[in-house]
């Protein structure tokens, strides 16, 4: 019995180590490539011998690159998208969870169907709509698309979590004279912080990692996001700045990591609450 337990633990940890290596290797490789003083990504070693910060310096040099401008554009789009998405998802999730109204089931079914359709499936319609409304080559168009695309799936997540919050809390607050909006703000939302943190992280990451929609809607180089701008570094006829591309890719992880670490306590509290709920 003891040998079987040791064997299971050994196999489990071996599998975890293998998966960890598979995930970590590309990350180490791209970080090492960003310090390569040349322009080629191919190297016999993960960390180059003559490591250099020349590519990072080039990215921050306004005369050589618009990287900082692209970074600011992306941060602006991500932040506004996150705020709008979280606000709308909290309201729609709470409404679908707590209220019974005409069209509720059809609305949930519509959201379920919409979340199965990726945004790029409607690229032509989005492009024509942006062109017709004069929003082509604007950040506002991207924010609208990202915000609208985040609502269906995240509403289901939010509704499912709020369903797990006892309705007795709402009834007790209502008996004490609290209105609907006060119950939403002071009772439900504080208890829903874990799922709000998840939605915030999801909606912040999406614009950072999206390329297709930004490429279709944006035309001016000064309005590019990081994904589109970095692609242009290697997509031009003489584009061979692969190591600079690697350096720019590494820096993308900074704001995402900061947000994740900031919200981590809510993820942990959500898991703890779920494990102790009786």
CA 149/CA 108 separation, integer angstroms: 15
36-45, 166-175, 194-203: least confidently modelled range? 36-45
Q: What is the mean pLDDT of residues 149-169?
A: 89
DSSP result, 220-274? SGGG--HHHHHHHHHHSTT---HHHHHHHHHHHHHHHHHHHHHHHHHHHHHHHHH
Residue 239 pLDDT grade (very low, low, confident, very high; cuts 50, 70, 90): low
Q: Helix 2-34 and helix 242-276: axis angle, to 10°?
A: 140
Q: At what angle do helices 226-235 and 242-276 cross, to 10 degrees?
A: 150
Task: Identify which of 25, 23, 3 has the alpha carbon closest to the alpha carbon of residue 11.
Answer: 3
Structure tokens belonging to residue 31: 């970080």
- Check pLDDT > 70 for residue 271: no
pLDDT digits (tens, 9 = 90+) for 79-138: 999 999 999 999 999 999 988 888 888 988 888 888 787 777 788 888 999 999 999 999
Question: What integer pLDDT is reported at residue 270 of this predicted model?
Answer: 54
Task: With cut-offs at 50, 70 and 90, classify the pLDDT of residue 274.
Answer: very low
Query: What is the rounded distance in angstroms from the CA atom of residue 103 to the CA atom of residue 149?
Result: 21
Give one DSSP letter per residue of 81-141, joined into a string.
HHHHHHHHHHHHHHHHHH---TTHHHHHHHHHHHTTS-GGGGHHHHHHHHHHHT-TT-HHH
pLDDT at 59 over 60: yes
Provide the mean pLDDT of the chain: 85
Asked if the model's pLDDT at residue 268 lies above 80, the reply is no
Tokens of 278: 């009786």
CATH 1.10.3720.10 domain position(s) in the chain = 63-276
Residue 231, burial from CB neighbour count under 10 angstroms (0-12, 13-18, 19+): middle
CATH class of 63-276: mainly alpha
Question: Phi/psi of residue 84, each to 5°?
Answer: -65, -45
pTM, to two decimals: 0.84
């Amino acid at each position: 019995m003891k040998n079987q337990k040791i064997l299971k633990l050994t196999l489990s940890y071996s599998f975890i180590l293998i998966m960890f290596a598979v995930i970590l290797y590309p990350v180490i490789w791209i970080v090492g490539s960003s310090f390569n003083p040349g322009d080629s990504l191919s190297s016999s070693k993960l960390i180059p011998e003559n490591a250099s910060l020349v590519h990072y310096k080039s990215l921050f040099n306004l005369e050589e690159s618009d990287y900082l401008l692209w970074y600011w554009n992306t941060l602006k789009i991500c932040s506004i998208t996150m705020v709008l998405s979280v606000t709308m998802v909290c309201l729609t999730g709470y409404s679908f969870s707590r209220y019974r109204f005409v069209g509720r089931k059809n609305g949930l079914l519509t959201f379920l169907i919409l979340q199965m359709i990726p945004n790029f499936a409607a690229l032509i319609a989005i492009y024509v709509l942006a062109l017709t409304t004069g929003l082509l080559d604007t950040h506002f168009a991207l924010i609208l698309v990202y915000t609208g695309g985040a609502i269906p799936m995240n509403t289901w997540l939010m509704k499912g979590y709020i369903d797990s919050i006892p309705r007795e809390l709402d009834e007790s607050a209502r008996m004490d004279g609290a209105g609907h909006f006060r119950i939403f703000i002071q009772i439900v939302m504080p208890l829903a912080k874990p799922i709000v943190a998840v939605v915030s992280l999801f909606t912040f990451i999406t614009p950072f990692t999206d390329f297709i929609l930004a490429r279709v809607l944006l035309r001016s180089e000064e309005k590019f996001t990081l994904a589109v701008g970095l692609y242009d570094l290697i997509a031009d006829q003489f584009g061979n700045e692969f190591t600079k591309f690697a350096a720019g890719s590494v820096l993308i992880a900074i704001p995402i990591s900061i947000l994740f670490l900031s919200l981590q306590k809510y993820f942990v509290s959500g898991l703890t609450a779920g494990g102790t709920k009786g």
